[in-house]
Amino acid sequence: MTFVDHYPKAARIVKANLIVAFVALGIGGFFGLIQALHRTDVFRGFVSSVQYYDVLTGHGVLLGLVFTTFFITGLYQWGVTRTLEREPESSAFSWTWFWMMVGGTTMTATAILGGLVPGSGMSAAVLYTFYPPLQAHPLFYIGAALLIVGSWLAGADWFWTYRKWRADNPDARIPLQTYMVIFTWLMWYLCSLGVALEVVVLLIPWSLGVVEKIDPLLPRTLFWYFGHAVVYFWLLPAYFVWYTILPKLSGGRLFSDPLARIVFIFFLLLSTPIGYHHQYADPGITLVYKMWALIMTLVILLPSLMTAFTVISSMEHGARQRGGSGYFAWMGALPWGQPAFVGCALAGIMFAAGGFSGMINASLNIDMLVHNTAWIPGHFHLTVGTAVALTFMAITYWLLPQLTGKALKFKNLALAQPYTWFIGMTLMSNALHRQGLAGVPRRVAEPQYAGIDYEVPFGTMAEMDWQVAIGGTILFVSMVLFLVVIGGTWWKGAPATDVDDVIPPALSGPEHSPKILDNLTLWMGVAVVLVLIAYSLPLAEMVMDGLFSPGAFPAPM
């Protein structure tokens, strides 16, 4: 008896979400391969250099927004159902949000892929940061809005379950997994409001031709109001896995449950007010707000360092229970032959490296050296592209038997998968970082220019290009391995008898922590106040001269 037997309705919803996530992963990953080969001039036969931008948009949107969102809604549905021990209150409602998200995704994807079909009259090569003056087909924006609203309803579904549970358990502490779901979604409501307003109020009328010109700064600011917090929307579910499941996979128990709660409070409070750090290079935003964002960004390192401490100590606890000892030697006692563990652990290591390049990005002045260069995709393939994506893939190896009642198939391929991803990403990411230092731009189909030689600080351009191409190919192969294991398990997996689905309680449980940590109204209130401080004046100033002015014409796409 496992999850699928106890909660068949929830299991179906979780599985449906994961299927969409993995389809997006497959298509988006293939686009990634095309980019890695095209940019480096290793092979330019898949698409033309104009279509490159359709592919790039598809890659960014399908992986950054679709794969992540659907995986997260699936994972969180599992966590809520499992820890509150309740099926969804209404299947009809759950399927409504799911199909709304699928409908939105289909519209957005159609608009993007239309750009690859000559004569379709559709195009959406606006890149995944879809603000003006680049303009997409209206379908793109309408679909994006539906995806977001669908995710809001998913959250409402979990709050509904939570309220029912609360009525039955008036004095209990919120179980940790549900606590994390709630805090992630409170943050998500707060930040995605910005992008929803951008899309519905500004971009949809503009793309439909109701208004002709658009003020570039206002939608951009609204986008980044959402655009930094969205990285925590991706990351917190990975933390959810690292805090609540990884300790067990390591053979131990979570070190401290209250510390995990405090970390999630930090993220709710600080994720949204720091969006300006993506606008360091924008005119029209005063330096005061940029400095404020810089300081707050360094403060938000704190909860990530707390996470490093808690997660590493939980792993150490596991290693010591498995007989490990010493200052560093204990790491050898970890289960390096278990795919789910290995994926999460390697994802964590990559995240530590991404932390460093992230600190460079956050530093207002140093950022100017790397702004819009290949350094940036080098950075975020360590964070969202590995810390998040590899964690999601790895934990699927552990979740799928619970969701399908089938034993994992192709265990050796599953074990090879995280290692190959790690190797591929080491090659691709280090080379992208170094190309960025040499001034190679990101988002360019043919980043080579007549008469200009890049000054390469470390290595040679040819060597870096090859590392990107080979690394990208290895990553693609790794992703195919993942899909084979998942597909094989789903269709051909033998029925599992004893599915491993037990999560032991934390070493230091919530009963030792103040109840104020669970006060949702309080923390949401503080978060709203911090957002108002950071955003009300600048936004008011941008709106006062008219929503669509000073206006600029759309860039032809």
Partner 1 sequence: MPTDEPEASTGGGTTDEASGKARDLPLDEFQPYGTLAVTGAYFVLLLVLYALLYFVEFATHAPHIIE
- 350 lies in the binding site for partner 1 (CB under 8 A): no
**What residues line the site for ligand HEM (CB under 6 A)?**
29, 32-33, 35-36, 39, 56, 59-60, 63-64, 67-68, 127-128, 377, 381, 384-385, 389, 442-444, 472, 475-476, 479
Nearest distance in Å: CB 236, partner 1: 21
By C-beta, is 237 or 436 nearer to partner 1?
436
From the list Cu ion, partner 1, ligand HEM, none, pick the one residue 359 interacts with, judged by a Cβ distance below 5 to 8 Å according to partner type. Answer: partner 1
Residues between 479 and 508 with contacts to partner 1, criterion CB under 8 A:
496-502, 504, 507-508
From the list ligand HEM, Cu ion, partner 1, none, pick the one residue 228 interacts with, judged by a Cβ distance below 5 to 8 Å according to partner type. Answer: Cu ion
What is the rounded CA–CA span in Å between residue 134 and residue 132? 5
Residue in the shown chain whose Cβ atom is closest to ligand HEM? 32
Handedness of CA 170, 173, 176, 180 (dihedral sign): positive
Residues between 420 and 439 with contacts to partner 1, criterion CB under 8 A:
437-438
- 244 lies in the binding site for partner 1 (CB under 8 A): no
> What phi and psi, each to the nearest 5 degrees, are found at residue 317?
-60, -45
Q: Residue 95 CB: number of other CB atoms within 10 A?
A: 16
The DSSP bridge partners found for residue 495 are 406
From the list partner 1, Cu ion, ligand HEM, none, pick the one residue 385 interacts with, judged by a Cβ distance below 5 to 8 Å according to partner type. Answer: ligand HEM
By C-beta, is 128 or 292 nearer to ligand HEM?
128
From the list partner 1, Cu ion, ligand HEM, none, pick the one residue 54 interacts with, judged by a Cβ distance below 5 to 8 Å according to partner type. Answer: none
Q: Residue 455 CB: number of other CB atoms within 10 A?
A: 9
Residues between 36 and 95 with contacts to partner 1, criterion CB under 8 A:
none
By C-beta, is 205 or 509 nearer to partner 1?
509
Site string for partner 1, 294-313 (x = CB under 8 A): -----------x--xx--xx
What is the rounded CA–CA span in Å between residue 9 and residue 297? 41
Residues between 252 and 271 with contacts to partner 1, criterion CB under 8 A:
252, 255
DSSP, collapsed to helix, strand or coil, labels residue 332 as: helix
Member of 45, 209, 283, 457 binding partner 1 (CB under 8 A): 457
By C-beta, is 57 or 307 nearer to ligand HEM?
57
Q: Which residue has the tokens 């290595």?
A: 459
What is the rounded CA–CA span in Å between residue 539 and residue 186? 22
Burial class (CB in 10 A: 0-12, 13-18, 19+), 103: middle
- 200 lies in the binding site for partner 1 (CB under 8 A): no
CA atoms within 13 A on the CB side of 95: 5
Nearest distance in Å: CB 112, ligand HEM: 11
CB 435 within 8 A of CB 374: yes
Nearest distance in Å: CB 1, partner 1: 6
The closest alpha carbon to 157, from 101, 106, 87, belongs to: 87
Can you say whether residue 285 is alpha, beta or left, with left for phi > 0 and alpha for psi between -120 and 50 degrees? beta
- 364 lies in the binding site for partner 1 (CB under 8 A): no
CA angle (94, 98, 101) in 5-degree steps? 145
Q: What DSSP designation does 452 have?
A: -
Query: To the nearest 5 percent, what fractions of the chain are helix, strand and coil?
Result: 70, 0, 25
Write out the catalytic residue numbers. Answer: 228, 232, 379-381, 442-443
What is the rounded CA–CA span in Å between residue 237 and residue 186? 13
**What residues line the site for Cu ion (CB under 5 A)?**
228
Nearest distance in Å: CB 350, partner 1: 13
Q: What DSSP designation does 496 have?
A: P
CB 30 within 8 A of CB 67: no
Binding site for partner 1 (CB under 8 A): 1-2, 245, 248-249, 251-252, 255, 305, 308-309, 312-313, 316-317, 319-324, 326-328, 330-331, 335, 337-341, 352, 356, 359-360, 366, 369, 397-398, 400-402, 407-408, 411, 414, 437-438, 455, 457, 496-502, 504, 507-508
